[in-house]
Structure 1
Amino acid sequence: MASTLLPTLLPPVSRAVAFLLRTPPKPFRSHHPLFRSLPASASSPSTPPTYHSLVTMASAGIPARRDLLMLGIETSCDDTAAAVVRGDGEILSQAIASQSDLLVKWGGVAPKMAEEAHALAIDQVVQKALDDANVSETDLSAVAVTIGPGLSLCLRVGVHKARKIAKVFGLPIVGVHHMEAHALVSRLVNKDLDYPFLALLISGGHNLLVLAQNLGEYVQLGTTIDDAIGEAYDKSARWLGLDIRKGGGPALEELALEGDPNSIKFTVPMRQQKDCNFSYAGLKTQVRLAIESRNLCTDDIPISSATEEDRQLRANIAASFQRIAVLHLEDRCQRAVEWALKMKPSIKNFVVLLLTSMLGPA
């Protein structure tokens, strides 16, 4: 079956609107029934379960607060994860199966390999989450599952598992937008965090700046138009011949500590663009050209075998890249704060969520 990305819940902001800021970006609600876009398969139940969103759960008759007991399933990228959470935010259990060995073998996330790993792990991970919480499927109020954005092949594994549980035990399904969940997890940790708040979401495959006005009501101020910062870190780390078994981001950051961040004059992306979008494709190209122009044989000589001079050159490239990558984040965040204050003068909190170890898709 061909891999197709599921639609996301975050519509793009008009570039003209973003530039002029005469009309604020239009708010939207997050209860799109994305499950209906999934193609049927032999393993799908003949009668689909009832689908809900975070916003419509109350109207569906699902119990509120502590009486709510949710099983959450996440398979959007390279980790198979499940958790059992009460409605008041208490996490009863969580289980994760990592694909770190596959990341090293394939130099990143290989969607087909990741799908197969999810399929092998999903039953065991879900059962462990239930066992650790000392509950069974009959105790659940609903099943929540990530429906996008993410790798389609991987998402389907979690969705099919959720559909199966919902069918057998007569449970509703709550479709969760991956990035919405990340934005809202801050309220799980800090229960005093009130709406509205501004959120910067940073991951291997996505960068988003979102004004959260209420549950299910968001204004997307900026998004990734080509490559996210995690992808840029990952590719740069590989081009520099680093050991990325623990992630491209940590490896590059460690090497950057040895370098001079001002030694190479990389250009900050999109300084002339008056919006809040992110672009790291050009910075990746600058890194590649810097490596080539200095005749660094990073493909044949890993960092562990590099000469002292070679290692210093690589460290300078890493440090210079990291400085510009962060400056780009700062530029977009500064503009987003200005926009958010114009739209919601009462806003007081800016939440930053680092979602992965910055090892982007292959």
Structure 2
Amino acid sequence: MQGKIILICDLLVKYGGVAPKMAEEAHSQVIDQVVQEALDKAYMTEKDLTAVAVSIGPGLSLCLREKFLLSVTHSSVHVLHNAVGVQKARRIAGGFNLPIIGIHHMEAHALVARLIEKDLQFPFMALLISGGHNLLILARDLGQYIQLGTTIDDAIGEAYDKSAKWLGLDLSRSGGPAIEELAREGNAKSVNFSIPMRQHKDCNFSYAGLKTQVRLAIESKKIDAKIPISSASYEDRLSRADIAASFQRIAVLHLEERCERAIEWALKMEPSIKHLVVSGGVASNQYVRARLDTVVKKNGLQLVCPPPWLCTDNGVMVAWTGIEHFRVGRYDPPPPAEDPEDYQYDIRPRWPLGEEYAEGRSEARSVRTARIHPSLTSLIQASLQQ
């Protein structure tokens, strides 16, 4: 498996982020081997499975066609490794007559915390932060979510990745860890970046403007990203570190301010809330965790962060979410053993997790609303009324 990991990392470095078409091709090359290794490591075959859980949205269509996860959903939890392909998931479910469960990717980020924190009961809050998403939700129950805030343009992880690329950092571990490491060497107040959206009294996020500020600061310092940080002079390295530290401070301050307001809103609706879950790839950042822990404690709540390996995209979170829904009878019957060539797969690139909180509706015009699939919450509520 190590060779496959290196392959994906090489693509990340080459393209300065995720290149969907290249990732699709790389995943397709290893799909069968990955699935077989997962089964072998679990000492199982497909006949031992109880259900198949697969992420069907939100996200780029190319990526969604490539992601799936096998899960055994019995009294004990057995989870197989993350693999690739909604099509592959359907072939396994159809071939072995298994129920299939379509999973909302962001719900999986929120619910995986319940796998490691046994005291985490509904209702709770969640801040989900990754390369493609910033999302603040109130989780009232399984499948019942209120959206308190979302990103109106770029997510925080995107801002980390682009800033790291412009600073000439090593992207083999993605931009977040690279920025966090370099920021420790810099002065976080040396560059006067402005905090985004302070004039908007909602809980939404915007990182496009901060990205522009970072790019302009890099240009003003005449930093050449073609020169890797490992080859930079002392003065150049210090300039890069100052920008990294200043960017990180403001990026996280934006999170803090939004969380403060969201906690206030959520407690009005659900006074019994005790926890704020922070998950998604950016939740692996220790600076982010430390700052948000201060905010949460100030408001009388407890911060819950999955371990870093469960914060970044992983198969366990999809499997666990499949288990949660399977236990309450939410799953689809086995698909046919083979789908027709013209079969339209249920893929939901733009799929809200919950209904938008009335006070949180964004005043920003850049929020896109076209071609959005009905929210997971509305779909579940409709099914309960049938």
Runs ≥4 residues deviating over 3 A: 95-98, 356-360
Question: CA separation in 2, counterparts of 1:97 and 1:309?
Answer: 33
Q: Within 5 A, what are the aligned runs for 1:209-358?
A: 209-296=136-223, 298-355=224-281
Preserved CA contact (<8 Å) 2:123 2:141:
yes
Return 330-339 or 122-131, whichever deviates more. 122-131
Q: Secondary structure at the match of 1:176?
A: strand
Query: What amino acid maps onto 1:201 in structure 2?
Result: L
Match of 2:51 in 1: 142
Identity of aligned residues (%): 71
Please give the per-residue CA displacement for 1:38-68, whole angstroms capped at 9, x wherever unaligned: xxxxxxxxxxxxxxxxxxxxxxxxxxxxxxx
Q: Secondary structure at the match of 1:199?
A: strand
How many residue pairs end up in the alignment?
A: 266
Please give the per-residue CA displacement for 1:281-330, whole angstroms capped at 9, x wherever unaligned: 1000000111112222x233222222221111111111110100110000
Question: CA separation in 2, counterparts of 1:146 and 1:354?
Answer: 15
Question: CA separation in 2, counterparts of 1:334 and 1:100?
Answer: 36
Please tell me whether residue 187 in structure 1 is matched to residue 114 in structure 2. yes
How big is the shift at 1:167?
1.5
Please tell me whether residue 205 in structure 1 is matched to residue 114 in structure 2. no
Question: CA separation in 1, counterparts of 2:16 and 2:235?
Answer: 26
Question: CA separation in 2, counterparts of 1:307 and 1:294?
Answer: 13
Question: CA separation in 2, counterparts of 1:128 and 1:181?
Answer: 23
Q: Secondary structure at the match of 2:101?
A: strand
Question: CA separation in 2, counterparts of 1:322 and 1:199?
Answer: 21
Preserved CA contact (<8 Å) 1:198 1:349:
yes
Seen in structure 2, the aligned counterparts of structure 1 residues 144 and 191 have a Cα distance that, compared at 3 Å, is: same
Larger RCO, structure (CA 8 Å, separation 6 or more): 2
Question: CA separation in 2, counterparts of 1:306 and 1:284?
Answer: 22
Give 5+ residue unaligned stretches, structure 1.
1-78, 80-94
Query: What amino acid maps onto 1:257 in structure 2?
Result: R
Preserved CA contact (<8 Å) 2:7 2:26:
no
Give 5+ residue unaligned stretches, structure 2.
67-84, 286-311, 314-386
Query: What amino acid maps onto 2:25 in structure 1?
Result: E
Q: Within 5 A, what are the aligned runs for 1:65-76?
A: none
Instruction: Write 1 or 2 for the structure with the bigger share of helix.
Output: 2
TM-score computed with the length of structure 2 as normaliser = 0.66
Seen in structure 2, the aligned counterparts of structure 1 residues 200 and 96 have a Cα distance that, compared at 3 Å, is: farther
Match of 1:105 in 2: 14
TM-score computed with the length of structure 1 as normaliser = 0.70
Question: CA separation in 2, counterparts of 1:242 and 1:192?
Answer: 39
Question: CA separation in 2, counterparts of 1:97 and 1:306?
Answer: 26
Q: CA RMSD in A?
A: 2.1
Question: CA separation in 1, counterparts of 2:113 and 2:242?
Answer: 35
